[in-house]
Structures are given as C-alpha cells and as structure tokens.
Amino acid sequence: MKRTLAALLCVSALLSPAALAAGAPQVEAAAAVLMEKETGAVLCGQNPHDKREPASVTKVMTLLLVMEALDEGRIALTDPVSVSAHAAAMGGSQVYLKEGEQMSVEELIKAVAVVSGNDAAVALAEHLAGSEDAFVARMNEKAAQLGMTDTTFVNCTGLPAAGHLTSAYDIALMSRALILEHPGIRQYSTIWMDTIRGGAFQLANTNKLVRYFEGCTGLKTGSTDSALYCLSATAQREGMELIAVVLGAPTSAQRFDAAKALLTFGFANYTLADVRPDQAIPPVSVSLGVADTVQPVLEQGSRILVEKAQLNQLTTELRLADGVEAPVEAGQKLGELVVSAGGTQLQTIPLTADRAVARITVPGLFLRLLRTLFLSG
C-alpha cells in the first residue's frame, strides 16, 4: 500500500504542478491529500478521488451542519436534546446515551468531536432535522454545494453502510469548510481531556495529534474493519493552516504518522505570502460616466501560497484596461495583478471596480459641457 505522493496527482487552482516542491513523503495509506485552508490549494495527493469508506471522519460533515445551525442562531449550545431510542441504539464509539436522557447541544458536540460518539451524532442530527434520514439529506445537499462529487452519505456516523463513500479530496473540502467558516469548532476539536454529565463521564480525544503535534487544531479520526484507519488532521503554524487527510491506513499509528509526515512537509516547504503591486494602482478612465475614472482594487485577499524557496523571487505585474465605458458595475473586472516567481507565472488576482459608475444622462452631459466651457473661459 506504500505509494509515493510526489509521483501522484498534485492539483490546485492556485499552484501549477511545476510550482510544487519536490520530495513529498511516502505514506502507508490507500489515499491521502494535503490541502492549505485559506487558498484551498492541494499540495499533493495520493489517489485523491478514490471512493472509499470514511468511517467516523464522516462526522466532519455532521459537525459542519451543527456549527452552521449554531452560527445562524437556529440552535443554541444550551438547548436540551432528548435522546431517542434510535440514537441510544447506536453501536461503535459512543457515550452510552439512554433513551429519554437529556443532554445539551454543547455536551453532544464534545462527545462527537472528542470521542466520536455515534449516539451523540445521531441525537444532534435528529435535533436539527427531525430524523437521521432528513439530516443525511442535508449532508448530501451540503456536499453538493461544496463540490464533493465523489461523496454519498448514507448515515451521519460513518458506521458501515452500503454506498456510504467519499474521497480524500472531498474530506479535505468539507474539513476546510468547517475550520474556515466555523473557527469555533476548535474549542472542541482541540480538547485533550474533558468530561460530560457533570464530570461523571470522562472524555479522551481519539486524535492523539492534539497532544503530540505542534499546532494541531483537530479534526476527526475514524476506523472500521472495512475502512481501516482514517483521519482528517488540521494544524496551524505561522499563520498557515493545513489539512491532511489519510484514508485506509493499516494501523492507527500509521494514520497518525502519515498525517504528521504530510503536515511537516507542508509547513517545511510552503508559506502564505502577501503580494502587493510594485506601484500604486492607477485609476481607469471611464467614458460617458458620471465620474471620469474608477479605482481598481484587488478582488480577493492578497495572500497566496508559495514555496518558501520562491519567496525572494516574487514579482508582480499590473495589467489594466485602457478605459471602460459607463455604466460600470461595482466589482466589474478592470484588469489583473500577475504574480510570478523566477519567470513562472503563479497566479493572477483580478482587479475590480471599487464602486459603480452610472452612465451620464443627456442633461448631465449638457451640464458637464457648460461647466467645462465656464471653467475654460
């Protein structure tokens, strides 16, 4: 099962394969992906789109929907959740919920994030959607929104079920959505030891990297006899957060070793660099507009992912339209900032209008003409 990551697919909208660092590690796993959170760039992948059982890494999506509901105010951490017979009957990893027991949303999140409680995951799913089936439909809807084309969810736990499949790449996508859009998950995914039920039930994180890998921020383990050992591991150093997904490792230790190797490779070879134009961005002239010019601005953040070896080679080039005709819409593309290193183009960042410029009316054009004549006289 040993495969060389460096020899396999390395894809990204932001980095060309030629720009990727050599020497990606070998890992003992059926599939793997290393992704940077902010840009979504994939640094390397091993069978990234192979459809495989994810085991409890499934719960990344469960937690994503729960955190969405929290952040949107549809549920609260203090809400009591009544445990159904269905939730209490879940096997595998559990916190031994009893039918009719009540537990807060926050304690159930801890149970899912820290010890991968299947019963807690189902209880949360039913609380949000009324039934596990309805919640799973939402999971698949969200997967489609995120572009997870390799994924079909059948349950919210990751317990073995026919057709319950995803890929390392898709897990990276949903992991990125969780940590990027809902950073509050870290207060649960970084717990090493805690308790629920007023201190009566001990929790110890199944993700050993939380304690033993510098900067670890989570995220989720999983294992079954058929899926083998799986992991979505996240870590942050020097302002950059990486996601390492490992599927189908033969042992628990090998999944953690694989994730550590991938994360260490990423932090050693890549960084986020702030890029700015070498000169002030000049305004673009507007014909037949209520204003004569419009100011271009960078459409997105100016941080890009680059190899550390390229940091001192970065150059930028402004490419702007000679002029535009009104009306101009706010956000309309006016040009681009081209970022290169060593003669190789790395990325283009769109430059867009900072505001709208309406088309001048005939009376307005007449008044402008009069003002021009008056001033020139």
DSSP 310: G
Q: How far apart are CA 148 and CA 170, in angstroms?
A: 5
Residue of 12, 84, 93, 116 with catalytic role: 116
Q: How far apart are CA 304 and CA 14, in angstroms?
A: 8
| Cα radius of gyration rounded to whole Å, the chain | 25
Cα 282–chain centre separation: 34
Q: How far apart are CA 35 and CA 41, in angstroms?
A: 6
Q: How far apart are CA 55 and CA 154, in angstroms?
A: 12
Residue of 12, 37, 56, 223 with catalytic role: 56
333 is catalytic: no
DSSP 36: E
DSSP 7: G
Q: Which residues contact 70 (CB under 8 A, 6 or more apart)?
A: 76, 77, 105, 182, 184
175 is catalytic: no
Residue of 12, 37, 59, 189 with catalytic role: 59
Say how many Å lie between the first and final Cα of the chain, rounded. Answer: 84
Q: How far apart are CA 63 and CA 40, in angstroms?
A: 20
Per DSSP, what are the bridge partners of residue 345?
Answer: 340
59 is catalytic: yes
Catalytic residues: 56, 59, 116
